[in-house]
Structure 1
Amino acid sequence: MINKLIYKYLRFKTSEKETAQLFEWINKSEKNKQTFIKLKQSWAINSNYKYEAKELAKVKKAVGFKTAENYYQRTILKYAAVIILFLAIGGIVFNSIIKTQKPEINSFVTISLEDGKNIIIPENTINQVLNFNNSHKATLNDKKLEYSNKTTPNKYEMHTINVPFGKTFEVVLEDGTLVHLNSGSSLTYPSYFEEKSNREVLLTGEAYFEVKQDFGRPFLVKTTSVEILVTGTKFNISAYGDDKITQASLLEGSINVINENNRKKDTVNLSPGFGYKWDKENQSSTIIEILPSECISWMEGELVFKDTDFKNLITKLERNYNISIEINYPFLEDQKFTGKFKTNELSIADILKIISIDTDFTFEINGKKISINAPGL
């Protein structure tokens, strides 16, 4: 009886009620889970993975991902945790070839100074004072660097914090502004802000800002695509150089987004709960509604994907885990995924296993390099 239901499900013929019954059965025991996996693998091999686009969309929904359509969305999402849970905890390998565990990360956060010196930021430090060339000081506590505003150096100098892939870092600027930098990001800023000038910083990558309010000295975040002008607010901006999209998302207060790349030369004022997206390829901009918690989920060790193509998904994984992934299965590049992963709980192997349920592929890990291949290779 249950085998018939599984095969009916794999042929996309089950009703919503039958799908719910199947996932309840899967969750009852480890044996049930193993039976489902084996039957799914056998069915997939025999069908040679020749799915139609509509069928692929249904498979995505069945394993906790969703596409643009809303078929089964409410029901399937309830059962997505079942798949993720027994993969992450049970360590089921599927068709994957795993040679090593999650690669260790050896690179450090650094500060580049004007004179060309690079300061390596040590880890697991408490109240370590850093003295810079201009007599300005900053205190380091583990993953957070806080500049002092109690001294006035003879002159300021420009500092650049470089955060490698696989890590995040916080810096409190001299004016009290908090910046939380995501992996693979850099921030250039003065060691202190002059009294009668705008507070200007340059961002590459992604960062969350809590800007200290100062109406007399507006705060300006410059990226290669857009500029964000504020006096005091909370917002997130993603502006990686190799990303197609630059996005500013407002959580609190208000910001002005200035885009001189656009033919219209946009100057847009955002309200909380909205974001500004700039498509660098199509040279187009849109205003979108955002969920603040999703925009800053990376700060809590989560990766959130919404209708994200496989190539961009892989790029985010590379940044988060400080690895290099080669895609040798062109079919995957056009597939889109929606889902959420707790990267502080899952290894890269765990995540790839979960994704491979959705659209099957094999992968091999060698140190910090991963190759993704077609099923059976």
Structure 2
Amino acid sequence: MEDRRTETLLNKYLEGTATPQEAAAVEEWYLKFKDVERGEITDTFIETSTDRIWQRLEKQHGLPQYKRTISIKLWAAAAAVVVVVLGGLFYYSNRNSNPAPLLAKQADVAPGANKAVLTLADGRKISLNDARNGALAQQAGISISKTADGQLVYELKAGEKELDTKGFSYNTIETPRGGQYQVSLPDGTKVWLNAASSLSYPTTFAGQRQRMVQLTGEAYFEVAKDKQHPFRVKSKSQEIEVLGTHFNVNAYADEPAVKTALLEGSVKISAGTAAVVIRPGQQASLKNGSINVEEVNTSVMADWKDGRFRFKNEPLASILRKVSRWYDVEVVYSPGFKDMPTFTGSVSRLDNVSAVLNMLEETSDVKFSIEGKTIKVQ
């Protein structure tokens, strides 16, 4: 990559004038190369701009500080990624900084949002997207409330006592297609629920030997540590046992396998007579009763909770299943369509669906059309 193009792209990003493709490229480069250590920089522009980019991204993504020392050779390799973005989905063009969208003249579909329905143990249903912020209900000594930023919070209020119920009263939170929601369970465990998913959990964990929840669809868990009360997740023919950890479970009915990706801690996955323990950076896939373990980029597995789609050599069909759920659209393939290219790259989930489809079209021979809530693939 020429130094001038590098400087132009980084300046555009810092000034806020970069296109979504260019901004995604810079951020993808950061996430891939942030841990590289190096010697001294002699190029003043690169040294200054990379420091500013690091500071901005650390603030934007809530990431920890990293040592900012990278050799010129490593910088060149990293900067090249800004342009090609891992050889895949997005590219930087100095011919036109605002290329015309390929689907601009067609109907578009807005992204999903915080939408969910809470079903209480007594059968009452509360639409969380319609309910006012603040207290919603109280069960077993636990106060249930909705926050302004789209979270459902269970907490023991000062002066209240959590009831030691021995029964199996459960609450269920369900997201529709085109919806997502976050819930903080009574034990402090945080759960991010993706589109078309549901989570059932006890109204209280008090008096129970284990913390058992049931999932359909996809969720990211940050489990509160409690060695005396293991946390278990049941989902589509498997059970996950944890003590305190961060992991993502994809258990949609229309996916060929149940995938559990571990970011922190340790989990044991059981399915019938098969059982495995995975470590951070690994993913277990359950298919036809067998569990396969592989090394993966876990940031890609949990990208959705951070508001992004990230693909790494991902087949088109898999990408479009995600698009279908998040944008609540139907995907229809033209008769005889067989070519399933793979893609690597990143794009915001906050953009309209045309932004995702435009970028897929730019790097393949696949063409899309939007008709109402239907996406046609050719």
Give 1:351's aligned amino acid: V
Q: d(CA) in 2 for partners of 1:351 and 1:249?
A: 24
Change (3 A) 1:268 1:114: same
Summarize the alignment of residues 234-245 of structure 1 with structure 2, pairs less than 5 Å apart: 234-245=246-257
Number of positions where the alignment pairs a residue of Structure 1 with one of Structure 2: 300
- Counterpart in 2 of 1:99? 106
1:350 equivalent among 346, 351, 355: 355
Q: d(CA) in 2 for partners of 1:78 and 1:133?
A: 51
Q: Indicate the structure (1 or 2) with the bigger Cα radius of gyration.
A: 1
Unpaired stretches in structure 1, ≥5 consecutive residues = 1-19, 29-63, 65-72
2:219 equivalent among 171, 192, 207: 207
Summarize the alignment of residues 150-165 of structure 1 with structure 2, pairs less than 5 Å apart: 150=157, 151-153=161-163, 155=165, 157-165=169-177
- Counterpart in 1 of 2:322? 316
1:140-163: CA deviations, max 9, x gaps? 103111112343347462111001
Task: Give 1:182 shift.
Answer: 1.4
1:253-273: CA deviations, max 9, x gaps? 21111111xxxx222122222
> Are the counterparts in 1 of residues 111 and 353 from structure 2 also a CA contact under 8 Å?
no
- Counterpart in 2 of 1:54? none
Q: d(CA) in 1 for partners of 2:299 and 2:164?
A: 42
> Are the counterparts in 2 of residues 111 and 159 from structure 1 also a CA contact under 8 Å?
yes
Q: d(CA) in 2 for partners of 1:112 and 1:298?
A: 24
- Counterpart in 2 of 1:8? none
- Counterpart in 1 of 2:38? none
1:65-99: CA deviations, max 9, x gaps? xxxxxxxx9998543369556699725244x4742
1:119 equivalent among 113, 117, 126: 126
Task: Give 1:103 shift.
Answer: 3.7
1:176-216: CA deviations, max 9, x gaps? 11111112211000111132421100011111111111122
1:183 aligns with 2:195: yes
Change (3 A) 1:181 1:88: farther
Percent of aligned pairs sharing the same letter: 28
Q: d(CA) in 2 for partners of 1:284 and 1:249?
A: 16
Task: Give 1:134 shift.
Answer: 5.7
1:359 aligns with 2:364: yes
Unpaired stretches in structure 2, ≥5 consecutive residues = 10-27, 29-76
Q: d(CA) in 2 for partners of 1:272 and 1:240?
A: 22
TM-score by length of 1: 0.70
Give 1:177's aligned amino acid: T
Task: Give 1:321 shift.
Answer: 1.8
1:334 aligns with 2:340: yes
1:144 aligns with 2:151: yes
TM-score by length of 2: 0.70
1:228 aligns with 2:240: yes
CA RMSD of aligned residues (A): 3.3
Q: d(CA) in 1 for partners of 2:105 and 2:84?
A: 24
Give the secondary-structure state (helix, strand or coil) at the position aligned to 2:209.
Answer: coil
Change (3 A) 1:335 1:88: farther
